[in-house]
Amino acid sequence: MADLYFSGVDVGSLSTDVSIIDHGGKVLSEIVIPTGVNGSEAAEQAFNAALKLADLTRDSITGITATGYGRASVAFATGKTTEISCHGVGAHHLFPKTGTVIDIGGQDSKVIQIDRQGRMLDFTMNDKCAAGTGRFLEVMANRLDLNLDELSSPLNIEGDSAPISSTCTVFAESEVISLLAKNTPRKEIVHGLQRSIVNRIWSMVTSIGIEGEVTLTGGVAHNKGLVALLEEKLGLTLNIPENPQTVGALGGAHIARRTYQNSLEADSI
Amino acid sequence: MLRFSKHEITINEIIKNMNIPDRSEYLKGLAQTGQKIMGVLPALYPRELLWAFDIHAAEIWDPPGEILHANAHLQTTICPVVKKSLEFILKEPQTINAGYLFPHTCDSLQNLGTQVKDLIGVSLPIYTFYNPKGRFNNTTIKYYQDILINFQSILEASHGPLEPEKLKAACVLSHKIDTYLMVIQQARMTDHLSLSNHEYFTLMRAQEYLLPQDYLSLLEQVNILEKPAEFSRARLMVSGILPPLPEILVFLDELGVSIVADDLLAVSRRIPKFAMDPPGSPLDYLTDRFFVLPPCSTRGGDLDERVHYLSNRLKESKAHGLLFDMVKFCEPELFDHRLLVKTFRERKTPVLTLETELEDHISGQDKTRIEAFTERLFEIVST
Amino acid sequence: MSIRAELKYKIMKDYGAPVLMAFQNVRRRKPRPTPAAFGSPLDSNQRLKEILSRHYFLSRYAPGVKKVAWVTSGAPVELLRAFDFYTIYPENHSALVGAKKQGADYCGIAEGDGFSQDLCSYARIDLGHMLSGKTPAGKLPKPDLLFCSNNICQTVLYWYKAIAHELDIPLIHFDAPFVTTEQTEADINYMAQQLQDMIPILERVSGRVFYLNIFEEILERSMETSKTWGAILDAMKAQPAPMTIFDAFGHLAPIVSLRGLPVAQDYYHILMDEINTRVTQGIGAISDERYRLIWDNIAIWYKVRFLATFFAERKMNFVTATYTNAWAETTGYLDVKDPWRSMAKTYGQIILNNNLKHRLDLMKGMIKTYAVDGMVMHSTRSCKPYSVGQFDLRKAITADLDLPAVILDADIADERVWSEQQIQTRLEAFCETLEGSKYG
Ligand code: SF4
Ligand code: SF4
């Protein structure tokens, strides 16, 4: 068989991610760039960069799945699938025993239940409010004059945390302001914020239930403090992918691969 | 705006093709002829009694337009049905000339009725109609009859004595409409209706504002296929208060998902569960009709009964999944929702919950939800 | 019914509970110091604590001895008492959880199980309790029966339906038609008939026979208790008022949840005596009462102390509230000689089941008779029947009576619904207007 390659292009609200795999599923390249204002341009750019990294040309890619918010704007895609299915498939390929995927993305967080083949069985997403998403952390980081990395500093779970009870970003922001006014140490506020996100995620998880291993995807998976808190709250160890941001793109690439294989089977009948 | 123009064209065309007049145009026309028109809020009321007094019931569920003035009267945590209705009433629309009727449906509507009547004040009379709650027995039946009689005398006070023949005729008309609707519902479940989601619900919702005779003639024109149409599409049942937003209906049409059954307060929950005998005594007929409506959260009905009813509908319609389209802040629905979702999830029925504030457009997030859910439905269809 | 359980219950009732109470007294010997803005606390507080702790404590020995019923605050509980049910009031329990600032925890449990965050927090807390067994009251017995009336809201019906289904126990619902203008004969007959229809079911569940004379006795007692409660509230007309409405929120518990029992009857006599003494001696609840306020809607349980202090420090005292008044307002309709119909009138016309014209008139009357200078309305996210219409009530009242008013957006028991900065600003602005209006 000639060499076949597949790609997934995930145009998210914050970043655009591309993954290229070969027909055996081996990852050849992964790229993450900021989406900026123009999703289709970002897709174009990221895809070219990924091709270059894998040392491939455009024609050599057999199937391309577009996913993410901007999935409709990826002109060169051969198919499109929601990021929900893609995260499920991606997580499945990285950690085959995954039953539950928690994805904390920029605009929204989701909890996805998948079966042993990586097919999505059920999912839930946060409601309109940004609390419990990457965006929430970003707003708060601004308030605290911290950059996102500082916000993610690993914390001692036992440490004090300032109480942030509000579940709404706007309310939480005003709580943070009044905590700052009271000279509450930033570390405690950060801890409190992480706890509030974790509570939010936890209630989404409980509404769906946990099956199998749990894999965490999305940029927030880099946030060590948050991961530790989440693990404590769920009482288990999370699978953390090496590149948590590209799991959706990876899933997309696998879906393109599967679609191609299915079409071969259909032809041979 | 531009992004959705395609949908808007589609919607208007559909209405044109099916010859269903536009709601506000139609009502304006009617009002000009001197027709008495009463604005009726959700959800259950004895329409036949109004008809017998030559009053046309124009239902108010989700009038279009932005919510502005209502915000000065209602908290942010009140459901959009209540808010939009109030916004509409505050505009004092010319089409409504015979007053407003507030059936007792939920706490919010209960209070809105007295708020409009006793605090805000409008120039038209305000009527109320209590719908008994909980489990029903002889005591409830007796009381429901008393309520009907009371309501009748209240209407008589401002519209003259009731002519019994007219009430009888109204019941016959209502019975005919019910019968048609049941046939159409059945046809929908068994693919004997070649209507898109959007067309189907436009048809069902036309009863909210068409004169009963006009609605009946519309129903008579509905083409029921002799053989089931070939559908390889995913089949869906929806539950909630109102049909999903037009944009969602069109979107589902595009995705190849067909809504084959519903458990919507505005639609199915107002159609009797089974065929009723033609009306004899109007009072008995009206009473019986109230008690043979499908189980409904707003009547405080039994949960088991509701689960049972929903599973039967799912089976009958061979739906692959269940969509709950929940109106934000709607307590009656949200309480039942938890058990319904739990039950059907356990039975491995794909379930999706959307939350709507009856906005004009669907959010990107909801689109993703619907698409992902559809991906799952098609997995099931293909296996 | 097992003899052992009965014996245990009796022993606990006669000996265990008193010991526990004595023990608690020892533990509580050092009370929190009262801020200077307040006068000395009521002696009755101690007795109140005892009664409530005893009630919750004894409940755990009830199973096997008495049937346990969960009851809504507006339900005609007298009927249940005739069958000797041990009654638990989930609303009261949820308020307790809220006051301990644990509301969000319990709500979270219910939310995790699929109940929406937009539902009444009393319901969510109670469902959280039901699902987890958690309670700050030690341990609560599972119910054998649920008894609810939609005369306070339809919410309780939806909520109790959910419990009935989960625990697979009977639910008795008392349907109270909303009063849009006035109660009709049909309404009264309907309610009276429902009450009588309940008797066979209650006999079956409780295994006891209904005796009219026992029922009448209970009704009599309940009536007398409500009247005493009404008289206590009336005494707040005195200037300075002998207690604050925040005290009354606490002293409300027996009339809500022990109504019809001798313990509640006795308690209010004790409280009444103390209040009367204060009035005669001119003792006020706050050190220097300059402004008198009315409170509308249920308490913000997790902020009672904050609010009490905030106002007391500004020499402002809440002297009346629509909420505390609810358990006295319609007692006048009760008539032991005509129990069923008079209960229909009493329970059918309580404030939350009555139209807003009635509420407006009632509030205006209270403002006048209690010489009120300002109004604080709690717009509560949880409660539609109490909150929908408040904006226009406020408008009508301020326009008619030229009374400063403020609306606080908060919740009864979910402490996540609270923005201290926003509230503080609003309250301060309100106080400024008030001070300006009275002496400006
Ligand atoms: S949507 Fe729900 S809350 Fe709103 S009016 Fe209808 S039943 Fe009441
Ligand atoms: S707070 Fe309001 S909605 Fe909740 S139980 Fe009480 S009356 Fe009902």
Does residue C18 sit within a domain?
no
Disruptive mutation site among C356, C394, C417 for chain B (greatest number of B CBs within 10 Å): C356
Residues A153 and A227: their CA atoms lie apart, in Å, by 11
For ligand 2, the distance from its centroid to the CA atom of residue C150, given in whole angstroms, is 10
pLDDT tens for residues A206-260?
A: 888 898 999 999 988 888 888 998 999 999 999 999 999 999 999 999 999 999 9
Residue C24 confidence class, pLDDT cut points 50, 70, 90: low
By residue range, what is the domain housing residue C425? 31-434
A225: three-class secondary structure by DSSP? helix
Instruction: Look at B368 and A123 and tell me if their CB atoms are within 8 Å.
Output: no
Q: How far is CA C427 from CA C180, C244, C374, C422, C423, in A?
A: 34, 18, 12, 9, 6
Report whether C109 contacts C134 (CB < 8 A).
Answer: yes
Q: Would you state the structure tokens that stand for residue A122, as one six-digit string?
A: 């059920």
Span C309-328, average pLDDT: 95
Q: Which long-range contacts (C-beta less than 8 Å, at least 24 apart) are formed by A116-119?
A: A117/A92, A118/A88, A118/A89, A118/A91, A118/A92, A118/A93, A118/A251, A118/A254, A119/A88, A119/A89, A119/B376, A119/B379
Residue B370 DSSP SS3? helix
Residue pair C242/C278 in contact by the 8 Å Cβ criterion: yes
Instruction: Tell me if A226 sits within 8 A of A148, measured CB to CB.
Output: no
pLDDT band of residue A170 (cuts 50, 70, 90) is low
Task: Give whole-number Cα distances, B351 to B320, B357, C107, in Å.
Answer: 9, 20, 24
Do B114 and C357 lie within an 8 Å CB cutoff? yes
The helix, strand and coil proportions of chain C, stated in percent and rounded to the nearest 5, come to 55, 10, 35
Task: Tell me the two tokens of residue C273.
Answer: 């005596």
Pairing of strands A27-34, A15-22: antiparallel
Please indicate whether the domains covering A5-86+246-268 and A98-240 agree at the CATH topology level. Answer: yes
Our measurement of the distance from residue A11's CA atom to the centroid of its chain's CA atoms, rounded to an integer in Å, reads 11
Under a CB-based contact definition with an 8 Å cutoff, are residues B58 and B96 in contact?
Answer: yes
Q: Does B351 touch chain A (CB under 8 A)?
A: yes
Q: How far away, in angstroms, is C172 Cα from ligand 2 center? A: 18
Q: How far apart are alpha carbons A35 and A134 in whole angstroms?
A: 15
Provide CB contacts within 8 A for A82, sequence distance 6+.
A67, A71, B368, B371, B372, B375
Handedness of CA C269, C274, C278, C284 (dihedral sign): negative
Q: Which pair of tokens denotes residue C146?
A: 């649920």
Can you say whether residue A212 is alpha, beta or left, with left for phi > 0 and alpha for psi between -120 and 50 degrees? left
Q: What number of other Cβ atoms are within 10 A of residue C234's Cβ?
A: 14
The CA distance from C77 to A71, in Å, is: 60
The architecture CATH gives domain B165-382: 3-Layer(aba) Sandwich (3.40)
**Could you give phi then psi for residue B4, rounded to 5 degrees?**
-105, 0
| Bridge partners (DSSP) listed for residue A31 | A18
Is residue C439 in some structural domain? no
Residue pair B318/B235 in contact (Cβ under 8 Å)? The answer is yes
The residue whose CA has the least distance to atom 5 of ligand 2 is: C156
Q: What is the pLDDT of residue B1?
A: 22
Which chain A residues have a beta carbon less than 8 Å from that of B379? 119
Contact residues on chain A for C112, CB-CB shorter than 8 A: 202-203, 206-207
Per-residue pLDDT of chain B (383 residues), as tens digits, is 222 233 343 444 545 567 788 999 999 999 999 999 999 999 999 999 999 999 999 999 999 999 999 999 999 999 999 999 999 999 999 999 999 999 999 999 999 999 999 999 999 999 999 999 998 999 999 999 999 999 999 999 999 999 999 999 999 999 999 999 999 999 999 999 989 999 999 999 999 999 999 999 999 989 899 988 876 689 999 999 999 999 999 999 999 999 999 999 999 999 999 999 999 999 999 999 999 999 999 999 899 999 999 999 999 999 999 999 999 999 999 999 999 999 999 999 999 999 999 998 998 889 999 999 999 999 988 87
Provide mean pLDDT across the span A20-43: 94
CB half-sphere exposure, B276, CA atoms < 13 A: 25
**Which of C173, C190, C388 lies at the smallest CB-CB distance from B111?**
C388
Mutate to test the pocket of ligand 1, among B83, B85, B87, B106 (most ligand atoms within 8 A of CB): B106
Q: Is residue C144 part of a domain?
A: yes
**Cα–Cα distances in Å, from C32 out to C41, C288, C309?**
11, 21, 13
Q: Which CATH class is domain B3-161?
A: alpha beta
Rounded-to-integer distance, Cα B73 and Cα B121, Å: 12
User: Residue C227 is inside which H or E element, if any?
Assistant: helix C212-235
Q: Indicate the domain borders of chain A.
A: 5-86+246-268, 98-240
Report whether A205 contacts A99 (CB < 8 A).
no
Task: Write out the H or E segment, with its range, that includes residue C348.
Answer: helix C339-348
Contact (CB, 8 A) for A113 and A80: no
pLDDT of res. B11? 44
The residue type found at B354 is L
Lateral strand order in the sheet of C86-88: C86-88, C68-71, C145-149, C171-174
Q: What angle do CA B141, B142, B147 make, to 5 degrees?
A: 95
Q: What is the pLDDT of residues C182-209, one digit of tens each?
A: 999 999 999 999 999 999 999 999 999 9
Whole-number Cα distances in Å, B253 to A172, B200, B222: 40, 11, 19
Give the separation between CA C122 and CA C156, rounded to whole angstroms: 9
C114: chain A residues, CB-CB within 8 Å: 207
Any long-range contacts for B208-215 (C-beta under 8 Å, 24+ apart)? B208/B23, B208/B58, B208/B59, B208/B61, B208/B266, B209/B23, B209/B26, B209/B27, B209/B58, B209/B59, B210/B20, B210/B21, B210/B26, B211/B30, B211/B35, B211/B56, B212/B47, B212/B51, B212/B170, B212/B173, B212/B174, B212/B177, B213/B173, B215/B177
Phi/psi of residue C319, nearest 5 degrees? -110, -10
Q: What residues have CB less than 8 Å from B360, skipping those under 6 apart?
A: B64, B245
Q: What pLDDT digit, counting tens, does each position of A81-112 carry?
A: 999 999 999 999 999 999 999 998 877 889 99
The angle formed by the CA atoms of residues B146, B150 and B152, to the nearest 5 degrees, is 115
Pocket test for ligand 1, best of B327, B329, B331, B335 (most atoms within 8 A of CB): B327
Å from CA of A152 to ligand 2 middle = 41
Strand, helix or coil for residue A112: strand
Adjacency order of strands within the sheet including A27-34: A27-34, A15-22, A5-11, A61-67, A79-80
Query: Does B57 sit in the ligand 1 pocket, CB within 6 Å?
Result: no
Tokens (6 digits) for A172: 């939480």
> So what's the pLDDT on residue A269?
58
User: How many helices and strands in chain C, by DSSP H and E?
Assistant: 20, 8
DSSP string covering A80-108, please? E--HHHHHHHHHHHHSTTEEEEEEE-SS-
**Mean pLDDT for the stretch of residues C288-315:** 96
Tell me what percent of chain B is helix, strand and coil, each rounded to the nearest 5: 55, 15, 35
Answer yes or no: is C95 within a domain: yes
In C, which residues are within 8 Å of A174 by CB distance? 419, 421-422
Rounded to 5 degrees, φ, ψ at B141 are: -65, -45
Q: Is B160 left (phi over 0), alpha (psi -120 to 50) or beta?
A: left
Which pLDDT score, from 0 to 100, does residue A157 have?
A: 46
CATH number of A98-240: 3.30.420.40
Q: Which of B45, B241, B296 to mutate to test the pocket of ligand 1 (most atoms within 8 A of CB)?
A: B241
Domain limits, CATH 3.40.50.11890, in chain B = 3-161
**How many domains are contained in chain C?**
1
C123 CA to centre of ligand 2 in angstroms = 8
Residue ranges matching CATH 3.40.50.11900 in chain B? 165-382
* Least trusted range by pLDDT, from A100-109, A151-160, B44-53, C83-92: A151-160
DSSP state of C286: B
Domain for residue C22, yes or no?
no
C119 Cβ contact list (under 8 Å, min separation 6): B331, B334, B335, C110, C155, C159, C382
**Residue where the block lists tokens 């009856």:** B358
For residue C330, give both structure tokens. 């319609």
Burial class of residue A21 in the structure, from the number of CB atoms within 10 Å of its CB (0-12 exposed, 13-18 middle, 19+ buried)? buried
CATH architecture of A5-86+246-268: 2-Layer Sandwich (3.30)
Written as one string, the DSSP assignment of A46-66 is HHHHHHHHHT--GGGEEEEEE
pLDDT band at A132 (very low <50, low <70, confident <90, very high): low
Q: Are residues C87 and C119 in contact, defined by beta-carbon separation less than 8 angstroms?
A: no
Sign of CA dihedral B329, B331, B333, B334: positive
ipTM value for the complex: 0.94
CB C405 within 8 A of CB C394: yes
With 70 as the cut, is the pLDDT of residue A173 above it?
yes
Instruction: Report, as an integer, the average pLDDT of C46-75.
Output: 93
- State pLDDT tens for residues C139-157: 889 999 999 999 999 999 9
Q: Is residue C19 part of a domain?
A: no
Q: Is C439's pLDDT higher than 80?
A: no
Long-range contacts of B17-25 (CB under 8 A, 24+ apart): B18/B199, B18/B202, B18/B203, B18/B218, B19/B218, B19/B221, B20/B202, B20/B203, B20/B206, B20/B210, B20/B218, B21/B210, B23/B208, B23/B209, B24/B95
Asked whether residue C26 carries a pLDDT value surpassing 60, the answer given is: no
Q: What is the pTM of this model?
A: 0.91
Residue C77: both structure tokens together: 């509980």
Instruction: Tell me how far the alpha carbon of residue C415 is from its chain's centroid.
Output: 19
Does residue C74 fall inside a structural domain? yes
Ligand 2 contacts CB of residue C147 (under 6 A):
no
Task: Report if residue C429 sits inside a domain.
Answer: yes
Helices (H) and strands (E) in chain B, counts: 14, 8
By the 8 A CB rule, do A217 and A146 touch? Answer: no
Tell me the pLDDT of chain C averaged across its residues. 93
For residue A206, the chain C residues in CB contact (below 8 A) are 112-113
